[in-house]
Structures are given as C-alpha cells and as structure tokens.
C-alpha cells in the first residue's frame, strides 16, 4: 500500500475511525506515516489552542420557546442533541471510549483483567475533548478491526449473532413507529503499548514537560475487548419520531506490566488532560468495576435513576425534548434513548422483556 497522504492523516487526527482497516494497518506498520501523523497532530493541536474561545452563554428557556413555536425547524435537533442521547450512540460511545480517548481506554482500564459491573457518565466539554492527548504520541495503538454494524431481520437473529437475549419493549410511546430495524455490532479487540521513546520524541517536538514514565510502564500493553452489541431502532431520530434501544456485552480489559496506580497517575498527568477532567475520572470510583461513558457537558443534564431494578443514569437534553437512560445488569450494558420526554424513555426501559 502507498503512503497515506497528508490530507488523510489530518482528517484522521479529528476522526480516528475514518480510516479503513487497510489504512489503519499501514499506519501502524509504517514509521514514516506515523512520524508525519505525529507532526500533523502537533500542528493541529497548536492551531486549535490558538483559536479556542469560551462557549458563549446560552439561554435555554428562550431557545426552547422558539423551537416550540416552530416545529417544522426541529429537524436540526437530533444531529446536535438527539443522536448523542440515543442508545445507538451509547453503544458506539462504549466502543469509541474503549479504543480512542484517554478518558475511556486508559482512565477506566487500570487493572490486570476486569469487566465493569456498572456504568457512570463522565461530562466532558468540547474543549476538553479537543485538548486530550493522542495515544499515538505516547505509544503504539493497535486499533480494532471489522467493527462495521450489520443489519439483521429480527431480534432472534440479532440474539443468535451476539449470544445475547435481545430485549424488546412491550409498548412504545405514542407517535413512535412499531416497525423495528436491528443492527448488530460485532465484538472487537484493540490494544495500546506505552513507549517511553515515543513520549520523549513527542515532548521534544512539541516542547512539552511530561511526567516521568515509570520504567515498568514502558512496554506495558493495555488490551480492550468490546463485547458484541445490538441497536434496535424504531422510526427515525432525525424526524423527531425515533427511539433507539441498545445493549452490549460489557467490555473486558487486560493489562501487563505497570500497576493500577502507576498507569492512572501517568495518564492523568499528561498535557491536555485538564485538572477538572482528571478529578472527575478519579471521583468515579473503582476503575475495576465502573465504566465511564463520556457525554457532552453543558448540553445535557444527568441524575441517578432506578431502571429494571438496578441503578442507572438519566440523560436529558436541556430542552426536555429528548432523553436517554443507561444502565448495566448481569454483564450487559443497556441504553434507551429517543426524541421523546425522559418519562416515556424510562417507561420503555422498564417494559423491556
């Protein structure tokens, strides 16, 4: 395969999953392309920092009043709010968080082998996401392969493909179509190996002061296996009449070499991880049993809720016109979300059978 061009590498900096399997394999194996990718990432981050501006104040009440009297213009909402709250996005977020961002793939994975027993939301601002360090600056990433969803014809077929009992609701909110589409997301494995040499090159090139990497952290490998998932879609979120139900086998994570505390201290001290984000990650609790799921801060509200007899998290957009709930039960992570009020979302979640 020929070398990746600069445009592709620049886009991959912002959208890591844009590369296909062949391109990812080439980038992993080609020192020249990795070196150019690191230079491009450094330039992009520096430029982003120069142009970063505070988020302007937003009058939620006034905005809600405007959209309520102009329903024909609500099609833009799911792209900004509805989709991130949907169960499809929740399932995708698990896979992305487990393979791409330090907040997901590292901060929640400091143990030899574990499977989280509950989920917790992690509010993250757009600026914090843009500032997060790229893992390829501090080691070697082996990304997941063949994770494209595949549509199947029924809940039974989805269950057969994933080894799970696919839950379906006994009732749906008024206005939500009853016809369902089932997409299966296959399980996948990715890994990250710490490299002191690469970290030193990054520090020298970008004039950074890095925390000292413990000797036993150098060469340590973190492996993440995301479980198979199913997204059941009723209607279309972009038409303001959609509901998504997602379920996914909880990921399993293994690591070699460094201790739990050494990995955590090193990653959360890297340039780009804000003190607020580091504190929020630490406050989540035991990383061997809690899986954090990033959500957009300032756009949604969260609070604990009981669903299916266990603890879950309510996620509601600031207009009250969309909502979602995420929970874990018996080794399966579930999410229900749609362009309906949260009370209706919770009713659907509790009637899943």
Q: How many other CB atoms are found less than 10 A from the CB of residue 205?
A: 13
**Start-to-end Cα distance in the chain:** 48
% of the chain beyond a pLDDT of 90: 25
130 pLDDT more than 70: yes
The CA distance from 191 to 189, in Å, is: 7
Quick one: pLDDT at residue 166?
A: 96
Q: Kindly report the average pLDDT of the chain as a whole number.
A: 76
Q: Is residue 220 part of a domain?
A: no
* Average pLDDT of the segment spanning 204-229: 88
Q: Is residue 329 part of a domain?
A: yes
Burial category of 62 from C-beta neighbours within 10 Å (exposed 0-12, middle 13-18, buried 19 and up): exposed
Q: How far is CA 318 from CA 14, 58, 129, 302, 342, in A?
A: 26, 10, 20, 10, 11
Q: Is residue 265 part of a domain?
A: no
328 pLDDT more than 60: yes
Q: What is the pLDDT of residues 278-322, one digit of tens each?
A: 888 888 766 656 777 777 777 778 899 999 999 998 988 777 778
112 pLDDT more than 50: no
Quick one: pLDDT at residue 50?
A: 52
Q: Is residue 300 part of a domain?
A: yes
192 Cβ contact list (under 8 Å, min separation 6): 105, 106, 135, 139, 140, 141, 142, 221, 222
The CA distance from 13 to 48, in Å, is: 12
Q: Is residue 22 part of a domain?
A: no
Q: Is residue 339 part of a domain?
A: yes
Quick one: pLDDT at residue 15?
A: 73
216 pLDDT more than 70: yes
The domain tally of the chain equals: 1
The CA distance from 99 to 79, in Å, is: 23
User: Is there a contact between 12 and 18 (Cβ–Cβ < 8 Å)?
Assistant: yes
The CA distance from 273 to 155, in Å, is: 41
* Average pLDDT of the segment spanning 197-214: 90
Q: Is residue 155 part of a domain?
A: yes
Concatenated DSSP letters for 55-98?
PPP--HHHHHHHHHT-GGGGGGHIIIIIHHHSHHHHHHHHHHHH
* Structural domain range at position 155: 53-104+114-131+143-188+228-251+286-350
Q: What is the pLDDT of residues 240-290, one digit of tens each?
A: 678 999 999 988 877 788 766 677 778 888 988 888 888 888 887 666 567
Q: Is residue 203 part of a domain?
A: no
24 pLDDT more than 80: no
User: Is there a contact between 227 and 250 (Cβ–Cβ < 8 Å)?
Assistant: yes
């Amino acid at each position: 395969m020929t070398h990746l061009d600069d445009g592709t590498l620049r886009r991959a900096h912002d959208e890591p999953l844009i590369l296909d399997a062949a391109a990812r394999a080439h980038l992993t194996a080609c020192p020249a392309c990795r070196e150019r990718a690191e230079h491009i990432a450094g330039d992009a981050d520096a430029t982003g920092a120069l142009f970063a501006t505070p988020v302007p104040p937003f009058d939620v009440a006034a905005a809600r009043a405007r959209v309520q009297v102009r329903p024909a213009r609500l099609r833009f909402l799911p792209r900004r709010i509805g989709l991130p709250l949907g169960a499809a996005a929740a399932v995708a977020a698990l896979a992305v968080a487990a393979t791409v961002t330090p907040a997901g793939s590292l901060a929640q994975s400091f143990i030899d082998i574990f499977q989280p027993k509950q989920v917790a939301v992690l509010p993250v601002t757009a600026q914090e996401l843009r500032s997060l360090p790229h893992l390829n600056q501090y080691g070697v990433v082996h990304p997941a392969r063949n994770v494209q969803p595949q549509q199947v014809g029924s809940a039974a077929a989805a269950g057969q493909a994933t080894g799970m009992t696919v839950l379906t609701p006994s009732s749906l909110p008024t206005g939500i179509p009853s016809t369902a589409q089932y997409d299966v997301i296959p399980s996948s494995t990715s890994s990250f190996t710490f490299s002191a040499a690469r970290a030193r090159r990054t520090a020298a090139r970008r004039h950074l002061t890095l925390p000292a990497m413990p000797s036993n952290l150098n060469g340590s490998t973190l492996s993440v296996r995301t479980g198979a998932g199913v997204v059941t879609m009723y209607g279309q979120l972009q038409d303001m009449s959609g509901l998504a139900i997602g379920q996914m086998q909880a990921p399993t994570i293994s690591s070699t070499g460094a201790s739990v505390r050494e990995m955590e201290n090193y990653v959360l001290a890297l340039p780009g991880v804000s003190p607020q984000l580091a504190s929020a990650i630490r406050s989540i609790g035991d990383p061997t049993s809690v899986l954090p799921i990033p959500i957009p801060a300032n756009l949604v509200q969260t609070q604990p809720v009981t669903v299916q007899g266990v603890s879950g998290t309510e996620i509601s957009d600031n207009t009250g016109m969309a909502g979602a709930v995420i929970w874990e039960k018996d080794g399966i992570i579930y999410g229900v979300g749609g362009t309906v009020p949260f009370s209706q979302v919770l009713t659907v979640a509790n009637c899943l059978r």
